[in-house]
Structure 1
């Protein structure tokens, strides 16, 4: 068997594994759950299933497989997300109004595209264009993994709008950890450091090129901020004191009447939270989750600290092993930090995405993907903030130290938290 054939089989197996995991994530859903869209940001699960399939059809099958027969011409319009150069698309806010095609038809669409992708991977096209096809397939698989996380966050938000707070899945009940590791601050030596991905394995275009950045020496917290620590901010009137907030953040708090993180509510004098396992009493030792950049920044100011830059974050964790409470665990909820002898830092990967104080902009010398895929990341480099490290909903094979997630500063339906940083003189 040739080396090329082994690579083709490896790609086909990886494709099957990623696609199967997506379908396992939707197994707990009722049929009605597939259609609901309770806000513009949270797409229906049915749309995620179809859009990720459209991605492979549009960028691989229609480009490289000459005998490919499309499943339905209407799907180009319905399941394109935001690719202007690929053609017109259905308004994002109206995705929940599309009852047809049915869920059954969407699964048939997935099966149809899967069959032809496997045909493509074993076709003669791989002899001439194998490198290009393999590269596009890797983008498509990582794109689907992004939507696996979005599936979980959107399902959670959609179900949370039900007044009876139904569970997506029932986790085994566990006793709360009696305590968490006390937070300390590690001094990180400054200097000229390299930031970015060398591209020896897959990365997105926004992670390149490697470039040098000067960092002053800084301190970084050994773990993310916990629920209990955030409660102290609330109890001190943090949501009512404008001196801790950026102007846009304060306006957002006033407009939306925020008094606590998303999904928090009081029940009989205790803080509770909604999780994918249903309503739970708030565990004070878990990392605080579902907070916006504005809330993270206000807490940091209140505590006399700051958020790290994305370069400080990457510098601290660039050599750390990728392990933690990620989607592969099946818990889909942040966990209390536990001591490890491997590193003084805890929960760098998994549990919660960590807000940084860095705006999402391109690296010096950055070149977006060519063609339509150039819209994937580059056109969003305005009015967004960078998050690092992955969450409890991020597949383990998807995350790395150079990964740059990004959202608008007011967004909080993602599994987002933060850790503190400080300057050496603090």
Structure 2
């Protein structure tokens, strides 16, 4: 085992979480804008709790727990690990203070680095898979930190920017949308075994696909504006039944964060002009499916999406969080599928179900994915907020159909000839 490499990776991932929190005040880090979101302070603590509870406690001899009470405060949903503070009330945790949470992180980091450097080879080998799972888990929370903060700041009448001072891109025109043909047939999808993959990406298996087409790029803001101008939110014929009920119940007339009258939308850089060329984002499944119906197309299945990406390797990923714009950029022109993993998560029409032969991981981490495989839909790709190197063709993101505070958009599909 390359201990020094594991130490460097641990240091880099853990430091990135702190860098994401750095632009925020202690007050920003403590607030919770809705039950589906969590305070940044909670994210910072929970990702440390994961390592403390699942790696250090069972595998590092002599490890001293930082605070016995934190097990109750920062457990997310692991029934096997005991009771927990209610998720909708995480914003009530004014204590521990942010500084104590940062002390907690330093305590856990020091123990992890010491364990990797000097731990018994057998103990470290037994824990290595859990350490990698913990790092991947923290990267998921890094994206959630950004999207949760965006929702939080959007509710402030001052419309504060998470990262002020970004140079606005001049509005442009989206590159022409092209339809790419895929022959279908018997294909393999799922994680192939090289490198890390979550359990929900396994086992790799065969799926039969009829011929189909995928759009070369995600749907743009300009294209979505045309749907809105054609009465898209007022015409029931485009909507799934649950989606139409959602539109009526919440009086929805535009994507989340949009101000169509002003021609602006709220971003992590504050209120910015809508750029017709950039991918539309913050759509839920209902909005994505309604647009596809209006456009005479449909949403792809997750198998169609993955099989196409395996045939059309993605272009190099764009700059990621804290390295430029924290917002989807317009697609550049080029061959094949554009913006596969660096702009918006792309809704599919596939329910989040176990693959044939799926088996949850043993122990408490078996609760990581499997028990959520009901009532949700799969998203594929990645977003402008996804940490660099975190996603892959087989990655299965999933959310409830009404969720839209993530960087979620769509890529159109059609049946082939």
Q: TM-score, normalised by structure 1?
A: 0.95
Does 1:258 find its partner at 2:252?
Answer: yes
- Structure 1 distance, partners of 2:318, 2:289, is 24
Aligned residue among 348, 361, 366 for 2:358:
366
**Contact 1:226/1:286 (8 A) holds in 2:** yes
C-alpha contact (below 8 Å) 1:171/1:331 kept by paired residues? no
Q: Post-superposition shift, 1:177?
A: 4.6
- When residues 19 and 124 of structure 1 are mapped into structure 2, their CA distance, relative to the original with a 3 A threshold, is closer
String of CA shifts for 1:346-397, please: whole Å, max 9, x gaps.
Answer: 1011110000010000110111111100000000000000001100000121
**2:271 corresponds to:** 279
Distance apart, 1:184 and its partner CA = 1.3
Alignment of 1:230-379 (within 5 A): 230-266=224-260, 269-319=261-311, 320-321=313-314, 323-325=316-318, 327-328=320-321, 329-340=323-334, 343-379=335-371
Contact 2:51–2:108 under 8 Å retained in 1 = yes
- The correspondence for 1:146, drawn from 136, 140, 159, is 140
- The whole-number CA distance in structure 2 between the counterparts of 1:171 and 1:390 is 25
Q: Deviations over 1:291-337 (max 9, x none)?
A: 00000001111111000000000011125146333524342100001
SS at structure 2 position matched to 1:402 = coil
Q: Separation in 2 of the partners of 1:221 and 1:21?
A: 34
- Deviations for 1:48-98, whole angstroms, at most 9, x for unmatched residues? 000000000000010011211110001000000000111000000000001
**Would you say the 8 A contact 1:323–1:396 is kept in 2?**
no
Q: For 2:57 and 2:165, locate their aligned partners in 1 and report how far apart those are by CA, in whole Å.
A: 42
Contact 2:30 2:39 (8 Å CA) reproduced: yes
Q: 1:41 aligns with which of 36, 40, 43?
A: 36
Q: What is the CA–CA distance in structure 2 between the aligned matches of 1:175 and 1:75, rounded to whole Å?
A: 44
SS in 1 for 2:275: coil
Query: Which of 3, 14, 19 is matched with 2:14 structurally?
Result: 19
Is 2:107 the partner of 1:115?
A: no
For 2:69, the equivalent position in structure 1 comes to 74
Separation in 1, partners of 2:211, 2:79: 43
Q: Distance in 1 between matches of 2:57 and 2:164?
A: 41
Structure 2 unaligned spans of 5+: none
What displacement does 1:30 show? 1.2
Q: Secondary structure at the match of 1:200?
A: coil
The verdict on how the C-alpha distance between 1:212 and 1:103 changes in structure 2, with shifts beyond 3 A counting, is same
- CA shift, 1:421, in A, is 0.3
Indicate the larger mover: 162-171 or 313-322. Answer: 313-322
Does the 8 A contact of 1:326 with 1:390 survive in 2? Answer: no
Q: Quick one: which of 25, 28, 39 aligns to 1:30? A: 25
Within 5 Å, give how 1:192-231 maps onto structure 2.
192-231=186-225
How far the C-alpha of 1:286 sits from its partner, in A, is: 0.4
Q: Tell whether the 8 Å contact from 2:314 to 2:339 is kept in structure 1 after alignment.
A: no
Native 8 Å contact 2:346 2:381 kept in 1: yes
1:121-145 Cα offsets, whole Å, 9 max, x none, are 12343x1133331110000000000
Query: Which whole-Å CA distance do the structure 2 matches of 1:305 and 1:399 have between them?
Result: 27
2:94 matched to which residue of 1? 99
The alignment yields a C-alpha RMSD, in angstroms, of 1.2
Q: Distance in 2 between matches of 1:143 and 1:81?
A: 12
Deviation at 1:257, TM superposition (A): 1.1
Unaligned runs of 5+ in 1: none
Partners of 1:360 and 1:175 in 2: CA distance: 36
CA distance in 1, matches of 2:14, 2:308: 33
Contact 1:177–1:336 (8 Å) recurs in 2: no
Q: Structure 2 residue aligned with 1:55, among 26, 32, 50?
A: 50
- Do 1:326 and 1:391's aligned partners in 2 also have CA atoms closer than 8 Å? no
SS, match of residue 422 in structure 1: strand
Structure 1 counterpart SS, 2:389 = helix
The number of aligned residues is: 415
Output the CA distance in 2 between the equivalents of 1:327 and 1:175.
16
The separation in 2 between residues aligned to 1:242 and 1:110, in whole angstroms, is 50
